[in-house]
Chains A and B, each alone.
Chain A
Amino acid sequence: MAIKSLRLRIQIWHAAILALVVLGFAVLTYWQQYHFRMRENDRELSAAVEVLTSQLAAIPASDLEAMISSNPDSIEIDPNVIDVWQLLDVPDTFTHRRIRNRFEAPYFMIISPDGRVLKSSASRFERTPPGMVYPPRSATTGMAFRNLGDWREAISKGPANTIILAGRFQGADYGDLRELAWTLTGVGVVLMCVGLIGGWIASGRAVAPIEQITAVAERISGSELSNRIETDSMDREFAGLANTLNQTFDRLESAFRRQSQFTSDASHELRTPLSVMNMHQQLALSKPRSESEYCETIEVCQRATKRMTELVDSLLVLARLDANIHSEFETIDLAEVTRDCIGELQPLADQRRLLIDTELDDSVCVRGDSVQLAQVINNVLNNAIRHSPEGETIHVTLFTSDDQGVLHIIDRGSGIAVEHLNKIFDRFYRIQQDRSRGDSGGTGLGLSICQSIMTLHEGTISLRSDQGEGCDFEIRLPLTPPPITEAPHG
């Protein structure tokens, strides 16, 4: 089963590593101590054997053989040596060795080649002689060692084929080592406990920011979008995540705000024509009226209906553009679309005695929806015609620049003040003088729709204007290679 808690997983890894380290340390310490003790003991026993060997070697060989065969008791061993305890070169670590029982005392034996014990230490505890079973010898020292229960013995061949043996009790060392093992186990357990508790607390602190982030993210909802994650006191790793989330919340909030602003704007825009209809209907019904008065009421209602229809249509277009719904893009000759639009609006321009001066490159092909692009050009051109003083000229130019098709529609109208420039593409934004319906008749959505269409086509629409200097609308679209017309086969 996979463990789903990060904190628990960190804790388990932490515990495993800690256990490994503690165990490794304990084993190493114990192993080192064990070998140190054993080596010292062996060295001590070897030294004893060598002293005894040198004692025997001091007796002339012939005498020694005679002594072995006839009178073992006459072999002289330095009395000090007999008391091995006194003589052995005992390292410091062993000086504190307490001999509590007789059997713990060191001992030695000199054994004849035929197995008789020729000489033994005073402190020798009754023990079975090693017999003639020689343990394998160490190649370098000629010394062999064996364990007999808790005793350790060093055995070597002495002069005249004698066997020299020195032994000692190791039980106390084993006891020390057992004690060391227990100490190490105890310390290990304490270390594990401290490490695990500390680790649990530390991992808790480490994952605390995640819980804070979760708490804030849970509070974020459609109606409550202003909460942000506090990142000042956060570690770099979490602050990065929190900042990313905060940016997402920012985007969400502004999207929500735009959405609700749009909805409320749309409802405001619908309220006025609704009020008009409501007002005039109630007025007409309040008392009997003449035929012409009824006709007038119906005309007013018709105008209001038309306005609402336009508004609803525009809203629908915008909603579709927002949802990215569009027909299949095709390769379009932008000059052709522009000419069609100009042709369509020419009567309106003629009516106002306006000249439309065109300068269109023919090789400007873009990918897009020709109906939508025509709508953009129509809208901008229509604005230009409506805002130009009579008898003026409107310039329309189309050329390519940096892989883009650039269309300019320039009028010599009254222009737009700086404070309106960056809001002119906002939904329902109207320049106030423009609001009297008789003039513009607009829904305040035309340029927003243009901008949405341009965004859908990965193009841009922008406006440069100085008040009194006219408007210069610039439409930019990425170029596409012209369609390949198949050459007729010869």
Chain B
Amino acid sequence: MRVLVVEDDPDLLAGLTQALREEGYAVDHTSEGDEALAQALAWPYDAIVLDIMLPNLSGLEILRELRRKQSTPVLFLTALDSIDDRVSGLDLGADDYLVKPFDLAELLARLRAVIRRGHEVADPIIRFGDLAINTSARLVTKGDAPIELTAREYALVELLAMKRGRLVTRTFIYDHLFDENHDSMSNLVDVYISRIRSKLGKEFVKTRRGEGYFVGN
């Protein structure tokens, strides 16, 4: 899952970026309003974490512009705590609103929920036969036995599960899973696909040669 984080305080931005990366998200970040809008329009992010009081362009203006073209899930993260602020934020099309100072666990849970809704998945547990992917607990179980996955392996499983029944290209996987600072596409995606196949079973991910992968029927 690729997330854009927009926050003008450098310390907070660094913390958020690190926390999200440790959760297995690919993270882009910026502290400038106009830059944030350009990035949000250029890229189909899985979610955007947006501050309201920003240099150059306020978060509300960014959202207003963004909503004309895209329905990317947006979570406001702001110090503005009045009911009026919340209402105007949500009415502009924000998917959630969290007031600073916030609890990290709550932010991550809300972000997961926002992403699920963005992929039109209502149930936090996605099932394939005896395989259950719990997107809330970030846990995959086969029968009753939990399967141990790294954050990035889990992220790949989740991405494929949310896109089930649809073809997922290698580029798409790469873009949504890996940060831009990774040097080349190489065969990173193939490596991760073979890792999850060995852990979850060969039949979980099907390959369409030359096109990509898909999960489900």
Contacts and interface: CB of A to CB of B under 8 A. Distances in A.
Interface in A278-325: 278-280, 282-283, 286-287, 300, 303-304
A264 B82 contact: yes
A279 B105 CA distance: 10
A303 B8 contact: no
B195 to A, nearest CB: 21
B31 interface: yes
B111 interface: no
B55 A279 contact: no
A256 to B, nearest CB: 16
B122 interface: no
A279 B104 contact: yes
A278 B18 CA distance: 14
B102 to A, nearest CB: 7
A275 interface: yes
Given A271-B79, A272-B79, A303-B11, A435 B55 contact: yes
Nearest to B105: A282
B15 A272 contact: no
Contacts of A433: 55
B18 A283 contact: yes
Contact of A283 (B8, B10, B19, B81): B19
Contacts of B80: 268
B100 A275 contact: yes
Contacts of B101: 271, 274-275, 277-279
A283 B104 contact: yes
Interface string A416-429: 00000000000000
B32 to A, nearest CB: 9
Interface residues of A, number: 26
A472 B180 CA distance: 46
A269 B100 CA distance: 10
A236 interface: no
A437 B12 contact: no
Given A264-B82, A271-B101, A272-B100, A437 B15 contact: no
Contacts of B183: none
Interface in A211-266: 264
Contact of B8 (A268, A271, A286, A436): A436
Question: Which label, helix, strand, loop or mixed, suits the secondary structure of the A interface?
Answer: helix
A38 interface: no
Interface in A103-157: none
A276 interface: yes
B186 interface: no
B55 A304 contact: no
B54 to A, nearest CB: 8
A276 B55 contact: no
B56 interface: yes
Interface in A426-460: 432-433, 435-438
A271 B100 contact: yes
Interface string B51-72: 0000110000000000000000
Given A268-B79, A271-B100, A437-B10, A280 B55 contact: no
A433 B18 CA distance: 26
A272 B9 contact: yes
Nearest to A265: B79
Nearest to B51: A272
Contacts of A279: 12, 15-16, 19, 101-102, 104
B89 to A, nearest CB: 15
B8 A435 contact: yes
B60 to A, nearest CB: 14
Interface centre among B56, B99, B100, B102 (most CB of A within 10 A): B100
Contact of A278 (B31, B56, B103): B103
B33 to A, nearest CB: 9
A279 B99 CA distance: 13
Contacts of A275: 9, 12, 79, 100-102
Interface string B1-44: 00000001111101110110010000000010000000000000
B104 A286 contact: yes
Contacts of A437: 9-10
A276 B82 contact: no
A277 B11 CA distance: 9
Contacts of B82: 264
A280 B11 CA distance: 9
Nearest to B82: A264
A490 to B, nearest CB: 69
Contact of A300 (B8, B15, B55): B15
Nearest to B102: A275
A285 B10 CA distance: 20
Nearest to A277: B101
Contacts of A269: 79
B55 A274 contact: no
A436 B104 contact: no
A275 B16 CA distance: 10
Nearest to B19: A283
9 contacts: A271-B99, A275-B100, A279-B104, A283-B15, A286-B22, A303-B11, A432-B55, A435-B8, A437-B9
Given A279-B16, A283-B19, A437-B10, 7 more contacts: A271-B100, A275-B101, A279-B101, A283-B22, A287-B22, A432-B55, A436-B8
The 5 A-B residue pairs whose C-beta atoms are closest, nearest first, are A271-B79, A279-B15, A275-B100, A282-B104, A275-B101
